[in-house]
Chains A and B, each alone.
Chain A
Amino acid sequence: MGFLSIDIGTILFTLLNLLLLFLGLKHFLFKPVNGILEKRQEEVDRKLQEAETAKSEAEAEREAYTQKLADAKEESAEMLRKATRRAQERSDEIVAAAKAEAAAVMQQNEQELERERRRAATALRGEVSGLAVAVAEKVVGREINQADHERLIDEFIDSVGDVQ
């Protein structure tokens, strides 16, 4: 055959071979390799997606924890404030009660004292009057009206004033 010949048979067979090799390459090289590349891409995408999800989840959790921590701080501060206030109130109450008690005791004491003083004054008055009557009896030698004397003495004492 000539060096630069155009042969219809060769052309037909070559086209057929070209088609066969095309199908062969498609089936034996491109399909499996592209399949595996796609699979790898999918895996990478999935991993990225997972990482993204995990990140957002962690973010949300962090947010929640921060919120909880702030809440807890707020709560503890509130509790502290309440306790302080209650303690203050309680101490105020105690002090007030103590003061009131002390005042009551003082008053009672004063009353007692007054009463004692009165009793003593009364007793003294009685005795003085009796004594005066006896002295007068002795001096005068006669009996004077006890009642009159007592009245006189009382007047005397009153005019002299209180012992204090």
Chain B
Amino acid sequence: MKYIYMLAAFAIPKFLEGPGELNVTGPKIITSFQIGSVTINFTETIILEWIVMAVILGLCIFLTRDLRVRAVSKRQVIAEMAVEAITNLVRDTMGKRWLWFTPYIATVFCFSVFGSLLSLFGLRAVTSDFSVLLSWAAVTFVMITVTKIRYNGLGGYLKGFADPIPVMLPINILSEVSTPAAMALRHFGNIAGGGIITALVYYGLANLSRMIGLQVPILTVGLPAVLSLYFDLFADFMQAFIFIMLTMVFISNAGPADDEPEPESEPGPEEISENAA
């Protein structure tokens, strides 16, 4: 699919126009409007997100049609396996108390995988827009912060920044912020970089074909497909998996371990006297 698209998009026009240049750009702005002094851009990415969402939800509806307790269809088996796999993953990684979080993890995973796989169809991968990854990482960051405040109290959370000594404050703030930033950049870099490399390879091979006098850029057959196997399929799944794993680990680490009792709100009078003694 990609090959055909690339052939159409790059090879043939370039063949006709002669060696040109390869532009790496961000998503196209379709329209933008002002709210106060803020400019809200409506970009290509949002349309692609809608396509991805439609595909995912359509797949869900298709898979969960006509569910039965017995004599299940193949579709139902797939749906059940997917749900059980993601549920088990969340339970094993985060613990039972976070099971309610499973749909969000599934959402991010599906969004990431399908969003990245758009590149297979010659579309711009949703995950090669940094803003998208930043949004997802921001949700993770908010969840981490909320969990920390929930289990340590606001005071405990703020005190955590001056831990173990107040001099560490800037470093602690940096480490807190770097968590989502690193997540977002890692995912973005892999997918966007993969896309650029694939485009460069096509471009280079097409030009090479022309240089050695071939009428049809025959060299673009083969190598890009192998590279696409890694940059599109493997990296997409890998990055989606890494992203959800990091999300789960960071969020569950923000709270107490599963087998620890819930934090007590106030120490009882006995404990206070014991401590005083």
How many residues of chain B are within 8 Å of chain A by beta carbon? 53
Q: What 1/0 flags go to B21-53 for Cβ under 8 Å of A?
A: 000111111001000001111110110011001
A7 to B62, CA, bound (A): 34
Query: Which residue of A has the minimal Cβ distance to B57?
Result: A24
Residues of A close to B192: CB separation below 8 A: 3
| In-complex Cβ contact of A21 among B63, B69, B107, B132 (8 A) | B107
Given the complex, which residues of A lie within 8 Å of B151, measured CB to CB?
none
Assuming the contacts A21-B57, A29-B60, asked whether A34 and B32 have C-beta atoms less than 8 A apart, the reply is: no
> Knowing A29-B60, A29-B79, A33-B67 touch, does A11 contact B135 (C-beta < 8 A)?
yes
Task: Among A8, A10, A11, A25, point to the contact of B56 (Cβ < 8 A).
Answer: A25
A5/B130 contact (C-beta < 8 A), A18-B135, A21-B53 known: yes
B41 contacts A1, CB within 8 Å? yes
Interface string of B214-249 (1 = CB under 8 A from A): 000000000000000000000000000000000000
Docked CA distance A21–B10 (Å): 34
Q: CA separation between A119 and B129, bound complex, in Å?
A: 157
| Interface presence of B111 (CB below 8 A) | yes
A30 contacts B39, C-beta separation under 8 Å: no
A51 CB within 8 Å of chain B: no
**How far is A25 from B139 in the complex, measured between Cα atoms in Å?**
17
Q: Is A85 an interface residue (CB 8 A)?
A: no
Can you list 7 A-B pairs, Cβ within 8 angstroms, ordered by A? A9-B41, A14-B132, A18-B111, A25-B107, A25-B110, A29-B103, A33-B83
Identify which of B46, B82, B108, B188 contacts A10 (C-beta below 8 A).
Answer: B46
Which of B26, B64, B129, B130 is A28 in contact with, Cβ under 8 Å? B64
Assuming A6-B134, A40-B70, what are 16 further A-B pairs, CB within 8 angstroms? A8-B39, A8-B41, A9-B40, A10-B43, A15-B135, A17-B53, A18-B139, A21-B107, A28-B60, A29-B60, A29-B63, A29-B79, A29-B103, A29-B106, A30-B83, A36-B68
Please give the distance in Å from A3's CB to the nearest CB on chain B.
5
Inside 8 A of A11's CB, which chain B residues have their CB? 131, 134-135, 138
User: Which residues of chain A come closer than 8 Å to B25, judged between CB atoms?
Assistant: 1-3
Q: Does B102 lie at the interface of the complex (its beta carbon under 8 Å from any beta carbon of A)?
A: yes
- B-chain residues with CB within 8 Å of residue A6 when the two chains form the complex: 130-131, 134
**Is the CB–CB distance between B129 and A10 below 8 Å?**
yes
Bound-state Cα–Cα, A17 to B50, Å: 8
| Cβ contact within 8 Å between A1 and B60 | no
Please report which residues of chain B, range 55-108, place their CB below 8 angstroms from some CB of chain A when the two chains form the complex.
56-57, 60-61, 63-64, 67-70, 76, 79-80, 82-84, 102-104, 106-108
B121: min CB distance to chain A, Å: 19
The answer for the CA separation of A22 and B45 in the assembled complex, in Å, is 18
Per-residue B-contact encoding for A32-49, CB less than 8 Å = 1, 0 else: 111111011001000000
Q: Known: A13-B46, A33-B67. Contact between A28 and B24, CB under 8 A?
A: no
Contact across chains for A10 and B110 when beta carbons are under 8 A apart? no
CB closest residue in chain A, given B132:
A14
A12 lies within 8 A of chain B by Cβ: yes
Cβ contacts under 8 Å, A140 to chain B: none
A26 within 8 A of B: yes
Q: Does B136 contact A (CB under 8 A)?
A: yes
CA distance A22 to B111 in the complex (A): 10
Measured CA separation A29–B53 after assembly (Å):
13
Residue contact B80 to A21, C-beta cutoff 8 Å: no
Q: Does A20 contact B (CB under 8 A)?
A: yes
Asked whether B103 lies within 8 Å of A22 as measured between CB atoms, the reply is yes
Bound complex: CA A8 to CA B134 (Å):
10
Say yes or no: A14 contacts B69, CB within 8 Å.
no
Query: Which residues on B sit within 8 Å (CB–CB) of A32?
Result: 64, 67
Query: Is A15 a contact of B139 with CB atoms below 8 Å?
Result: yes
B231 to chain A, nearest CB (A): 17
Closest to B80 in A: A33
Residues of the A chain whose Cβ atoms lie less than 8 Å from the Cβ of B69 = 36, 39-40, 43
Known: A22-B104, A33-B64. A9 touches B43 (CB 8 A): yes
